[in-house]
Copies of this chain bind each other. A is one copy, B any other.
Amino acid sequence: MLGLMQDQPLLISQLLEFADRHHRDGEIVSRRVEGDIHRYTYKDLAVRARKVANALDAMKLQFSDRVATLAWNGYRHLELYYGVSGSGRVLHTLNPRLHPDQVVWIANHAEDQVLCFDMTFLPIVQAVHARCPTIKHFIALCDADKLPQDTGIPNLTSYEDWIGGASSDYVWPRFDENSASSMCYTSGTTGNPKAALYSHRSSTLHAYAAALPDVMCLSARDSVLPVVPMFHVNAWGIPYSALMVGCKLVFPGPALDGKSVYELMESEGVTFAAGVPTVWQMLLGHMKPAGLRFSSLTRTVIGGSACPPAMINAFRDDYGVDVLHAWGMTEMSPLGTLCTLKNKHLTLREDLQMAIRLKQGRAIFGVDMKIVDENGQELPWDGKAFGDVLVKGPWIVASYFKGEGGDPLVKDSNGIGWFPTGDVATIDEDGYLQITDRSKDVIKSGGEWISSIDIENIAVAHPAVAMAACIGVKHPKWDERPIVAVVKKPGAEVTRDELIAFYEGKTAKWQIPDDVVFVEAIPLGATGKMLKTKLREQLKDYKLPNA
Protein backbone atom coordinates (compact mmCIF):
# COMPACT_ATOMS: atom_id res chain seq x y z
CA MET A 1 0.00 0.00 0.00
CA LEU A 2 1.35 3.39 -0.96
CA GLY A 3 1.22 6.44 1.28
CA LEU A 4 -1.14 9.22 0.32
CA MET A 5 1.27 12.13 0.17
CA GLN A 6 1.50 14.58 -2.71
CA ASP A 7 3.50 13.32 -5.64
CA GLN A 8 5.97 16.16 -6.10
CA PRO A 9 9.26 15.47 -7.85
CA LEU A 10 12.42 16.93 -6.32
CA LEU A 11 13.50 19.46 -8.97
CA ILE A 12 16.27 22.04 -8.98
CA SER A 13 13.82 24.66 -10.29
CA GLN A 14 11.96 24.39 -6.96
CA LEU A 15 15.00 25.74 -5.14
CA LEU A 16 14.90 28.82 -7.35
CA GLU A 17 11.16 29.28 -6.99
CA PHE A 18 11.46 28.88 -3.24
CA ALA A 19 14.20 31.53 -2.95
CA ASP A 20 12.27 33.80 -5.31
CA ARG A 21 9.14 33.62 -3.14
CA HIS A 22 10.61 33.42 0.34
CA HIS A 23 13.90 35.31 0.08
CA ARG A 24 13.23 37.68 -2.79
CA ASP A 25 15.48 40.43 -1.43
CA GLY A 26 18.21 38.02 -0.27
CA GLU A 27 21.53 39.33 -1.61
CA ILE A 28 23.90 37.81 -4.13
CA VAL A 29 27.21 39.67 -4.34
CA SER A 30 29.75 38.85 -7.05
CA ARG A 31 33.22 40.08 -7.83
CA ARG A 32 33.30 40.14 -11.60
CA VAL A 33 36.10 39.39 -14.03
CA GLU A 34 36.26 43.15 -14.64
CA GLY A 35 37.12 43.54 -10.94
CA ASP A 36 34.03 45.46 -9.86
CA ILE A 37 31.42 44.26 -7.40
CA HIS A 38 27.97 43.31 -8.68
CA ARG A 39 24.93 43.06 -6.38
CA TYR A 40 21.45 41.81 -6.89
CA THR A 41 18.79 39.65 -5.26
CA TYR A 42 17.28 36.20 -5.49
CA LYS A 43 14.35 37.81 -7.24
CA ASP A 44 16.68 39.20 -9.92
CA LEU A 45 18.35 35.80 -10.20
CA ALA A 46 14.98 34.16 -10.78
CA VAL A 47 14.02 36.67 -13.49
CA ARG A 48 17.28 36.15 -15.36
CA ALA A 49 17.30 32.36 -14.96
CA ARG A 50 13.88 32.33 -16.62
CA LYS A 51 15.36 34.39 -19.45
CA VAL A 52 18.13 31.79 -19.80
CA ALA A 53 15.50 29.06 -20.07
CA ASN A 54 13.67 30.97 -22.79
CA ALA A 55 16.94 31.69 -24.60
CA LEU A 56 17.74 27.96 -24.60
CA ASP A 57 14.25 27.22 -25.92
CA ALA A 58 14.86 29.73 -28.70
CA MET A 59 18.02 27.80 -29.65
CA LYS A 60 15.85 24.66 -29.91
CA LEU A 61 17.89 22.87 -27.29
CA GLN A 62 16.27 19.59 -26.36
CA PHE A 63 15.65 18.02 -22.97
CA SER A 64 18.97 16.67 -21.60
CA ASP A 65 21.12 18.57 -24.11
CA ARG A 66 24.39 19.68 -22.53
CA VAL A 67 25.27 23.33 -21.92
CA ALA A 68 28.90 23.76 -20.94
CA THR A 69 30.47 26.51 -18.84
CA LEU A 70 34.03 27.70 -18.40
CA ALA A 71 33.39 30.16 -15.62
CA TRP A 72 34.33 31.51 -12.22
CA ASN A 73 31.95 31.75 -9.29
CA GLY A 74 29.52 34.55 -10.08
CA TYR A 75 25.91 35.50 -10.64
CA ARG A 76 25.84 34.66 -14.36
CA HIS A 77 27.19 31.21 -13.64
CA LEU A 78 24.46 30.80 -11.02
CA GLU A 79 21.81 31.87 -13.55
CA LEU A 80 23.09 29.10 -15.83
CA TYR A 81 22.95 26.59 -12.96
CA TYR A 82 19.21 27.23 -12.66
CA GLY A 83 18.25 28.21 -16.20
CA VAL A 84 19.95 25.18 -17.72
CA SER A 85 19.05 22.46 -15.18
CA GLY A 86 15.68 23.95 -14.32
CA SER A 87 14.56 23.83 -17.94
CA GLY A 88 15.60 20.18 -18.25
CA ARG A 89 18.99 20.60 -19.90
CA VAL A 90 22.24 19.34 -18.38
CA LEU A 91 24.75 21.83 -17.01
CA HIS A 92 28.28 20.72 -17.80
CA THR A 93 30.85 22.65 -15.77
CA LEU A 94 34.18 22.38 -17.58
CA ASN A 95 37.35 22.82 -15.55
CA PRO A 96 39.30 25.72 -17.10
CA ARG A 97 42.51 24.51 -15.47
CA LEU A 98 42.64 21.51 -17.78
CA HIS A 99 44.88 21.45 -20.82
CA PRO A 100 43.03 22.60 -23.97
CA ASP A 101 43.40 19.11 -25.45
CA GLN A 102 41.56 17.70 -22.44
CA VAL A 103 38.88 20.36 -22.78
CA VAL A 104 38.40 19.32 -26.40
CA TRP A 105 38.21 15.64 -25.51
CA ILE A 106 35.70 16.27 -22.73
CA ALA A 107 33.49 18.70 -24.68
CA ASN A 108 33.29 16.21 -27.55
CA HIS A 109 32.61 13.31 -25.23
CA ALA A 110 29.84 15.28 -23.50
CA GLU A 111 28.52 16.46 -26.90
CA ASP A 112 28.12 19.96 -25.54
CA GLN A 113 25.76 22.12 -27.63
CA VAL A 114 26.49 25.49 -26.07
CA LEU A 115 29.59 26.85 -24.36
CA CYS A 116 29.31 29.82 -21.98
CA PHE A 117 32.63 31.27 -20.82
CA ASP A 118 34.10 34.06 -18.76
CA MET A 119 36.40 36.40 -20.73
CA THR A 120 39.33 35.09 -18.70
CA PHE A 121 39.00 31.90 -20.67
CA LEU A 122 38.74 33.40 -24.15
CA PRO A 123 42.20 32.04 -25.07
CA ILE A 124 41.08 28.51 -24.19
CA VAL A 125 37.93 28.85 -26.29
CA GLN A 126 39.97 30.26 -29.17
CA ALA A 127 42.27 27.26 -28.90
CA VAL A 128 39.52 24.64 -28.80
CA HIS A 129 36.42 25.86 -30.69
CA ALA A 130 37.42 24.54 -34.09
CA ARG A 131 37.86 21.07 -32.63
CA CYS A 132 34.48 20.97 -30.84
CA PRO A 133 32.02 20.29 -33.67
CA THR A 134 29.00 19.67 -31.40
CA ILE A 135 29.12 23.19 -29.95
CA LYS A 136 26.79 25.36 -32.04
CA HIS A 137 26.70 28.44 -29.83
CA PHE A 138 29.40 30.30 -27.97
CA ILE A 139 28.28 32.74 -25.27
CA ALA A 140 30.70 35.20 -23.68
CA LEU A 141 29.67 35.95 -20.09
CA CYS A 142 30.01 39.70 -20.46
CA ASP A 143 28.08 42.87 -21.20
CA ALA A 144 27.14 43.46 -24.85
CA ASP A 145 29.60 46.34 -25.18
CA LYS A 146 32.48 44.27 -23.80
CA LEU A 147 32.34 41.62 -26.50
CA PRO A 148 35.65 41.71 -28.37
CA GLN A 149 35.66 41.73 -32.17
CA ASP A 150 37.64 39.32 -34.33
CA THR A 151 37.94 36.55 -31.80
CA GLY A 152 37.77 34.02 -34.61
CA ILE A 153 34.97 32.23 -32.74
CA PRO A 154 31.89 31.72 -34.91
CA ASN A 155 28.43 32.56 -33.56
CA LEU A 156 29.86 34.34 -30.55
CA THR A 157 27.23 36.27 -28.60
CA SER A 158 27.48 38.20 -25.39
CA TYR A 159 25.45 36.74 -22.56
CA GLU A 160 23.56 39.99 -22.04
CA ASP A 161 22.60 40.11 -25.70
CA TRP A 162 21.63 36.46 -25.56
CA ILE A 163 19.22 36.75 -22.67
CA GLY A 164 18.41 40.44 -23.16
CA GLY A 165 15.71 39.82 -25.70
CA ALA A 166 14.25 36.76 -23.97
CA SER A 167 11.04 36.92 -21.99
CA SER A 168 11.17 36.59 -18.22
CA ASP A 169 7.88 34.67 -18.25
CA TYR A 170 8.53 30.97 -17.98
CA VAL A 171 6.84 28.08 -16.21
CA TRP A 172 9.46 25.62 -15.03
CA PRO A 173 8.62 22.19 -16.43
CA ARG A 174 7.79 19.24 -14.19
CA PHE A 175 9.54 15.96 -15.02
CA ASP A 176 11.05 12.83 -13.49
CA GLU A 177 13.26 13.80 -10.56
CA ASN A 178 15.79 11.19 -11.69
CA SER A 179 16.46 13.18 -14.87
CA ALA A 180 20.04 14.32 -15.39
CA SER A 181 20.66 17.86 -14.15
CA SER A 182 24.41 18.43 -14.36
CA MET A 183 27.67 16.67 -15.03
CA CYS A 184 31.24 16.91 -13.91
CA TYR A 185 34.28 15.05 -15.26
CA THR A 186 36.82 13.61 -12.89
CA SER A 187 40.41 14.58 -13.45
CA GLY A 188 41.42 10.96 -13.64
CA THR A 189 45.13 10.39 -13.41
CA THR A 190 44.83 7.25 -15.48
CA GLY A 191 42.59 6.50 -18.44
CA ASN A 192 40.16 8.94 -20.03
CA PRO A 193 38.23 11.42 -17.93
CA LYS A 194 34.91 10.03 -16.72
CA ALA A 195 31.78 12.03 -15.96
CA ALA A 196 29.49 11.82 -12.97
CA LEU A 197 25.96 12.59 -14.16
CA TYR A 198 23.94 14.11 -11.32
CA SER A 199 20.16 14.10 -11.16
CA HIS A 200 17.58 16.55 -9.81
CA ARG A 201 16.85 14.08 -7.03
CA SER A 202 20.47 13.58 -6.05
CA SER A 203 21.18 17.31 -6.13
CA THR A 204 18.15 18.14 -3.97
CA LEU A 205 18.83 15.43 -1.40
CA HIS A 206 22.47 16.52 -1.26
CA ALA A 207 21.31 20.11 -0.76
CA TYR A 208 19.22 19.12 2.26
CA ALA A 209 22.09 17.10 3.73
CA ALA A 210 24.76 19.73 3.06
CA ALA A 211 22.78 22.38 4.97
CA LEU A 212 22.34 20.28 8.13
CA PRO A 213 23.79 21.58 11.42
CA ASP A 214 26.42 18.83 11.44
CA VAL A 215 27.46 19.56 7.88
CA MET A 216 27.70 23.17 6.60
CA CYS A 217 25.01 24.43 9.01
CA LEU A 218 23.52 26.89 6.54
CA SER A 219 20.70 29.21 7.54
CA ALA A 220 19.05 32.43 6.40
CA ARG A 221 21.28 34.24 8.88
CA ASP A 222 24.48 33.27 7.05
CA SER A 223 26.57 35.09 4.51
CA VAL A 224 28.25 32.34 2.52
CA LEU A 225 31.39 32.53 0.42
CA PRO A 226 32.08 29.51 -1.77
CA VAL A 227 35.74 29.86 -2.65
CA VAL A 228 35.58 26.34 -3.99
CA PRO A 229 34.87 26.81 -7.70
CA MET A 230 31.49 26.16 -9.25
CA PHE A 231 33.40 24.01 -11.76
CA HIS A 232 34.54 21.70 -8.93
CA VAL A 233 31.61 19.39 -8.23
CA ASN A 234 29.11 22.26 -8.18
CA ALA A 235 31.03 24.18 -5.51
CA TRP A 236 30.29 21.33 -3.10
CA GLY A 237 26.57 21.90 -3.60
CA ILE A 238 26.50 25.39 -2.08
CA PRO A 239 24.68 26.92 -5.09
CA TYR A 240 21.81 24.55 -4.30
CA SER A 241 21.84 24.60 -0.48
CA ALA A 242 22.07 28.41 -0.44
CA LEU A 243 18.75 28.81 -2.24
CA MET A 244 17.18 26.17 -0.01
CA VAL A 245 17.95 28.25 3.09
CA GLY A 246 17.98 31.76 1.64
CA CYS A 247 21.39 32.83 2.91
CA LYS A 248 23.35 35.72 1.45
CA LEU A 249 25.70 34.46 -1.27
CA VAL A 250 29.10 36.00 -1.96
CA PHE A 251 31.05 35.00 -5.09
CA PRO A 252 34.76 35.74 -5.37
CA GLY A 253 35.01 35.56 -9.17
CA PRO A 254 38.57 35.07 -10.39
CA ALA A 255 40.22 36.86 -7.46
CA LEU A 256 41.27 33.99 -5.21
CA ASP A 257 44.39 35.64 -3.79
CA GLY A 258 44.50 36.19 -0.03
CA LYS A 259 43.97 39.95 -0.17
CA SER A 260 40.91 39.82 -2.42
CA VAL A 261 39.25 36.99 -0.51
CA TYR A 262 39.92 38.69 2.81
CA GLU A 263 38.50 42.02 1.67
CA LEU A 264 35.35 40.39 0.31
CA MET A 265 34.83 38.47 3.54
CA GLU A 266 35.07 41.63 5.57
CA SER A 267 32.99 43.88 3.33
CA GLU A 268 30.17 41.34 2.97
CA GLY A 269 30.06 40.07 6.54
CA VAL A 270 30.86 36.51 5.48
CA THR A 271 30.06 34.01 8.25
CA PHE A 272 30.87 30.79 6.40
CA ALA A 273 33.36 29.95 3.67
CA ALA A 274 34.38 26.75 1.94
CA GLY A 275 37.48 25.89 -0.05
CA VAL A 276 40.56 23.78 -0.58
CA PRO A 277 43.62 24.15 1.67
CA THR A 278 45.74 26.08 -0.86
CA VAL A 279 43.29 29.01 -0.90
CA TRP A 280 43.25 29.20 2.89
CA GLN A 281 47.03 29.07 2.92
CA MET A 282 47.03 32.18 0.72
CA LEU A 283 44.44 33.85 2.94
CA LEU A 284 46.40 33.24 6.14
CA GLY A 285 49.58 34.25 4.31
CA HIS A 286 47.98 37.62 3.62
CA MET A 287 46.47 38.13 7.08
CA LYS A 288 49.31 37.10 9.34
CA PRO A 289 51.98 39.63 8.36
CA ALA A 290 49.40 42.45 8.34
CA GLY A 291 47.95 41.46 11.72
CA LEU A 292 44.44 41.25 10.27
CA ARG A 293 41.43 39.67 12.01
CA PHE A 294 38.10 38.27 10.86
CA SER A 295 35.14 40.32 12.05
CA SER A 296 32.31 38.02 10.94
CA LEU A 297 33.69 34.63 9.85
CA THR A 298 32.79 31.89 12.32
CA ARG A 299 33.47 28.66 10.47
CA THR A 300 34.95 27.20 7.34
CA VAL A 301 34.82 23.86 5.66
CA ILE A 302 38.06 22.59 4.20
CA GLY A 303 38.13 19.74 1.76
CA GLY A 304 39.52 18.60 -1.56
CA SER A 305 42.65 17.24 0.07
CA ALA A 306 43.76 16.57 3.61
CA CYS A 307 44.22 19.78 5.54
CA PRO A 308 47.51 20.25 7.41
CA PRO A 309 46.89 20.20 11.18
CA ALA A 310 48.88 23.42 11.47
CA MET A 311 46.25 25.23 9.41
CA ILE A 312 43.36 23.94 11.49
CA ASN A 313 45.20 25.13 14.58
CA ALA A 314 45.98 28.53 13.10
CA PHE A 315 42.33 29.17 12.21
CA ARG A 316 41.09 28.09 15.65
CA ASP A 317 43.76 29.45 17.94
CA ASP A 318 44.79 32.62 16.13
CA TYR A 319 41.48 33.63 14.55
CA GLY A 320 38.71 31.91 16.53
CA VAL A 321 37.34 30.26 13.40
CA ASP A 322 36.03 26.70 13.50
CA VAL A 323 37.63 24.61 10.78
CA LEU A 324 35.59 21.63 9.69
CA HIS A 325 37.33 18.92 7.77
CA ALA A 326 35.28 17.44 4.94
CA TRP A 327 35.76 14.48 2.66
CA GLY A 328 34.12 13.54 -0.59
CA MET A 329 34.70 13.43 -4.32
CA THR A 330 33.20 14.16 -7.72
CA GLU A 331 31.50 10.77 -7.68
CA MET A 332 29.83 11.71 -4.37
CA SER A 333 28.22 15.06 -5.35
CA PRO A 334 30.66 15.56 -3.43
CA LEU A 335 29.98 15.40 0.32
CA GLY A 336 30.57 12.16 2.20
CA THR A 337 31.76 13.07 5.67
CA LEU A 338 32.16 16.19 7.72
CA CYS A 339 33.99 16.53 10.99
CA THR A 340 31.86 17.88 13.80
CA LEU A 341 31.91 16.69 17.39
CA LYS A 342 29.22 14.72 19.18
CA ASN A 343 27.46 15.55 22.43
CA LYS A 344 29.77 13.25 24.40
CA HIS A 345 32.90 14.97 23.06
CA LEU A 346 31.99 18.40 24.37
CA THR A 347 33.42 17.69 27.81
CA LEU A 348 36.70 16.25 26.46
CA ARG A 349 40.04 17.98 26.95
CA GLU A 350 40.89 20.39 24.12
CA ASP A 351 43.74 18.22 22.79
CA LEU A 352 41.49 15.19 22.61
CA GLN A 353 38.87 17.23 20.78
CA MET A 354 41.58 18.36 18.37
CA ALA A 355 42.55 14.74 17.68
CA ILE A 356 38.99 14.18 16.47
CA ARG A 357 38.93 17.39 14.43
CA LEU A 358 41.94 16.22 12.47
CA LYS A 359 39.92 13.32 11.07
CA GLN A 360 37.79 13.70 7.95
CA GLY A 361 34.62 13.23 9.96
CA ARG A 362 31.40 11.30 10.22
CA ALA A 363 29.16 10.18 7.37
CA ILE A 364 26.26 12.46 6.52
CA PHE A 365 22.88 10.72 6.56
CA GLY A 366 22.36 9.47 3.03
CA VAL A 367 25.93 8.20 2.75
CA ASP A 368 26.85 4.80 4.09
CA MET A 369 30.47 3.77 4.14
CA LYS A 370 32.68 0.82 5.00
CA ILE A 371 36.33 -0.15 4.84
CA VAL A 372 37.37 -3.48 3.35
CA ASP A 373 40.54 -5.50 3.09
CA GLU A 374 42.14 -6.82 -0.08
CA ASN A 375 39.56 -9.62 -0.23
CA GLY A 376 36.61 -7.30 0.13
CA GLN A 377 35.95 -8.33 3.75
CA GLU A 378 34.64 -5.51 5.92
CA LEU A 379 37.16 -4.30 8.50
CA PRO A 380 36.32 -3.25 12.07
CA TRP A 381 35.68 0.35 13.08
CA ASP A 382 38.45 0.55 15.65
CA GLY A 383 40.43 3.53 14.40
CA LYS A 384 43.35 1.21 13.61
CA ALA A 385 42.44 -1.19 10.81
CA PHE A 386 42.76 0.53 7.47
CA GLY A 387 41.34 -0.49 4.17
CA ASP A 388 39.71 0.65 0.97
CA VAL A 389 36.72 2.94 1.50
CA LEU A 390 33.46 1.95 -0.22
CA VAL A 391 30.34 4.12 -0.18
CA LYS A 392 26.71 3.97 -1.19
CA GLY A 393 23.84 6.42 -1.22
CA PRO A 394 21.41 8.37 -3.39
CA TRP A 395 23.96 11.04 -4.40
CA ILE A 396 26.76 8.60 -5.26
CA VAL A 397 27.41 7.47 -8.83
CA ALA A 398 26.10 4.13 -10.04
CA SER A 399 28.09 4.42 -13.28
CA TYR A 400 29.76 7.02 -15.48
CA PHE A 401 28.37 8.88 -18.48
CA LYS A 402 28.26 6.66 -21.59
CA GLY A 403 29.31 3.70 -19.47
CA GLU A 404 32.99 4.79 -19.44
CA GLY A 405 34.99 2.49 -17.21
CA GLY A 406 32.23 -0.14 -17.06
CA ASP A 407 30.33 -0.89 -13.86
CA PRO A 408 32.35 0.61 -11.03
CA LEU A 409 30.23 -0.80 -8.20
CA VAL A 410 31.16 -3.72 -5.95
CA LYS A 411 28.19 -5.81 -4.82
CA ASP A 412 27.75 -6.86 -1.19
CA SER A 413 26.12 -10.08 0.02
CA ASN A 414 22.66 -8.45 -0.24
CA GLY A 415 23.30 -7.56 -3.87
CA ILE A 416 23.65 -3.85 -3.10
CA GLY A 417 26.33 -2.00 -5.06
CA TRP A 418 29.02 0.06 -3.31
CA PHE A 419 31.29 2.58 -4.99
CA PRO A 420 35.02 2.04 -4.37
CA THR A 421 36.41 5.50 -3.64
CA GLY A 422 40.08 4.76 -4.21
CA ASP A 423 40.80 6.13 -0.76
CA VAL A 424 42.29 4.17 2.10
CA ALA A 425 41.12 5.01 5.62
CA THR A 426 40.48 3.97 9.17
CA ILE A 427 37.08 4.42 10.83
CA ASP A 428 36.88 4.68 14.61
CA GLU A 429 34.22 3.43 17.04
CA ASP A 430 32.29 6.67 16.66
CA GLY A 431 32.23 6.50 12.87
CA TYR A 432 34.96 9.09 12.23
CA LEU A 433 36.77 8.40 8.99
CA GLN A 434 40.43 9.19 8.69
CA ILE A 435 41.92 9.04 5.24
CA THR A 436 45.34 7.49 5.41
CA ASP A 437 46.05 7.48 1.69
CA ARG A 438 44.91 6.97 -1.84
CA SER A 439 44.81 3.25 -2.64
CA LYS A 440 47.41 3.76 -5.36
CA ASP A 441 49.72 5.87 -3.17
CA VAL A 442 49.89 3.66 -0.09
CA ILE A 443 53.41 2.26 0.38
CA LYS A 444 53.64 -1.47 1.00
CA SER A 445 56.76 -2.18 3.00
CA GLY A 446 57.51 -5.64 4.36
CA GLY A 447 53.86 -6.67 4.32
CA GLU A 448 52.80 -3.52 6.21
CA TRP A 449 51.15 -0.41 4.79
CA ILE A 450 52.64 3.06 5.21
CA SER A 451 50.45 6.09 4.65
CA SER A 452 52.15 8.53 2.30
CA ILE A 453 49.99 11.32 3.74
CA ASP A 454 51.29 10.74 7.27
CA ILE A 455 54.84 11.02 6.00
CA GLU A 456 54.00 14.23 4.12
CA ASN A 457 52.26 15.80 7.10
CA ILE A 458 55.37 15.38 9.23
CA ALA A 459 57.57 16.92 6.54
CA VAL A 460 55.37 20.01 6.09
CA ALA A 461 55.38 20.56 9.84
CA HIS A 462 59.12 21.40 9.45
CA PRO A 463 59.52 25.19 9.25
CA ALA A 464 61.69 25.02 6.12
CA VAL A 465 59.32 22.81 4.08
CA ALA A 466 56.76 24.34 1.72
CA MET A 467 55.44 21.16 0.16
CA ALA A 468 56.18 17.44 0.39
CA ALA A 469 55.18 14.36 -1.58
CA CYS A 470 55.90 10.83 -0.40
CA ILE A 471 56.14 7.97 -2.88
CA GLY A 472 57.21 4.37 -2.69
CA VAL A 473 60.35 3.17 -4.43
CA LYS A 474 61.02 -0.49 -5.26
CA HIS A 475 63.24 -2.22 -2.72
CA PRO A 476 64.73 -5.72 -3.13
CA LYS A 477 64.00 -6.80 0.45
CA TRP A 478 61.03 -4.69 1.64
CA ASP A 479 59.19 -4.60 -1.67
CA GLU A 480 58.73 -0.80 -1.36
CA ARG A 481 60.32 1.89 0.78
CA PRO A 482 59.09 5.50 1.19
CA ILE A 483 61.03 8.54 0.09
CA VAL A 484 59.88 12.11 0.34
CA ALA A 485 60.22 14.79 -2.33
CA VAL A 486 60.44 18.21 -0.75
CA VAL A 487 60.07 21.81 -1.95
CA LYS A 488 61.82 24.20 0.41
CA LYS A 489 60.27 27.52 1.43
CA PRO A 490 61.91 30.51 -0.31
CA GLY A 491 65.09 31.39 1.53
CA ALA A 492 64.75 28.49 3.99
CA GLU A 493 67.32 25.73 4.37
CA VAL A 494 67.21 22.17 5.62
CA THR A 495 69.45 19.20 4.85
CA ARG A 496 68.47 15.62 4.07
CA ASP A 497 69.82 14.41 7.41
CA GLU A 498 68.12 17.15 9.38
CA LEU A 499 64.78 16.27 7.86
CA ILE A 500 65.26 12.52 8.43
CA ALA A 501 66.16 13.31 12.05
CA PHE A 502 62.99 15.45 12.26
CA TYR A 503 60.94 12.23 11.86
CA GLU A 504 62.43 10.66 15.01
CA GLY A 505 59.73 10.13 17.61
CA LYS A 506 57.01 11.32 15.26
CA THR A 507 56.34 7.97 13.59
CA ALA A 508 57.40 4.34 13.87
CA LYS A 509 61.08 3.82 12.92
CA TRP A 510 60.26 1.56 9.98
CA GLN A 511 57.95 4.22 8.54
CA ILE A 512 60.62 6.94 8.41
CA PRO A 513 61.44 7.64 4.76
CA ASP A 514 64.72 6.22 3.48
CA ASP A 515 65.61 9.42 1.67
CA VAL A 516 64.74 13.04 0.95
CA VAL A 517 64.83 14.40 -2.59
CA PHE A 518 64.80 18.17 -2.89
CA VAL A 519 62.87 19.39 -5.94
CA GLU A 520 61.96 22.79 -7.39
CA ALA A 521 58.27 21.94 -7.63
CA ILE A 522 55.85 19.07 -7.28
CA PRO A 523 53.61 18.52 -10.30
CA LEU A 524 49.99 19.53 -9.59
CA GLY A 525 46.84 18.53 -11.43
CA ALA A 526 44.03 20.78 -12.61
CA THR A 527 42.30 20.64 -9.23
CA GLY A 528 45.47 21.53 -7.31
CA LYS A 529 46.18 18.01 -6.14
CA MET A 530 49.69 16.58 -6.29
CA LEU A 531 50.19 14.33 -9.31
CA LYS A 532 52.23 11.50 -7.86
CA THR A 533 52.14 9.59 -11.13
CA LYS A 534 54.06 12.44 -12.74
CA LEU A 535 56.42 12.68 -9.78
CA ARG A 536 57.15 8.96 -10.02
CA GLU A 537 57.88 9.41 -13.69
CA GLN A 538 60.25 12.31 -12.97
CA LEU A 539 62.04 10.20 -10.36
CA LYS A 540 62.08 6.98 -12.36
CA ASP A 541 65.89 6.85 -12.46
CA TYR A 542 66.19 7.52 -8.74
CA LYS A 543 68.01 4.82 -6.72
CA LEU A 544 67.55 4.23 -3.01
CA PRO A 545 70.77 4.97 -1.06
CA ASN A 546 70.60 1.77 1.01
CA ALA A 547 69.11 -0.71 -1.47
Decide yes or no whether A218 CB sits under 8 A from chain B.
Answer: yes
Min CB distance A202 to B, Å, is: 4
Interface segment, one of A95-103, A147-155, A360-368? A360-368
Min CB distance A22 to B, Å, is: 4
Min CB distance A434 to B, Å, is: 15
Q: A21-B431, A211-B212, A245-B212 are in contact. Are A394 and B222 (CB under 8 A)?
A: no
Report whether B365 and A199 are in contact in the complex, using a CB–CB cutoff of 8 Å. no
Return the contact of A398 from the options B4, B10, B198, B400 (Cβ within 8 A).
B4
Residues of B within 8 A of A245 (CB): 212-214, 365
Return the contact of A3 from the options B2, B202, B247 (Cβ within 8 A).
B202
Find residues 1-51 in chain A having any chain B CB closer than 8 Å to their own CB: 1-8, 10, 14-15, 17-18, 21-26
Q: Residue of B at shortest CB range from A391?
A: B6
Decide yes or no whether A187 CB sits under 8 A from chain B.
Answer: no
Min CB distance A481 to B, Å, is: 37
Min CB distance A50 to B, Å, is: 15
What's the Cα separation between A460 and B37 when bound, in Å?
52
Report whether B431 and A392 are in contact in the complex, using a CB–CB cutoff of 8 Å. no
Q: Residue of B at shortest CB range from A22?
A: B431
Residues of B within 8 A of A24 (CB): 429
Residues of B within 8 A of A343 (CB): 26, 220-223, 247-248
- Give the copy number: 2
Interface centre among A1, A24, A414 (most CB of B within 10 A): A1
Main secondary structure of the interface of A (DSSP, over half): loop
Decide yes or no whether A168 CB sits under 8 A from chain B.
Answer: no
Report whether B64 and A4 are in contact in the complex, using a CB–CB cutoff of 8 Å. no
Interface segment, one of A68-76, A173-181, A532-540? A173-181
Decide yes or no whether A105 CB sits under 8 A from chain B.
Answer: no
What's the Cα separation between A23 and B363 when bound, in Å?
11
Interface centre among A2, A179, A205, A248 (most CB of B within 10 A): A2
Please list 17 pairs of residues, one from A and one from B, whose beta carbons are closer than 8 Å in the complex, sorted by A's number: A3-B199, A3-B200, A3-B202, A4-B397, A4-B399, A4-B401, A5-B198, A5-B202, A7-B398, A23-B342, A23-B431, A26-B342, A211-B212, A221-B341, A222-B343, A246-B342, A247-B343
Using a CB–CB cutoff of 8 Å, the interface residues on chain A facing chain B are 1-8, 10, 14-15, 17-18, 21-26, 63-64, 90, 171, 176, 178-181, 196-202, 205, 208-209, 211-214, 217-223, 244-248, 333, 340-344, 346, 362-363, 365, 368, 392-401, 409, 414, 417, 419, 429-431
8 pairs of A and B residues whose beta carbons are closest in the complex: A3-B199, A1-B64, A213-B219, A22-B431, A208-B208, A5-B202, A4-B197, A220-B342
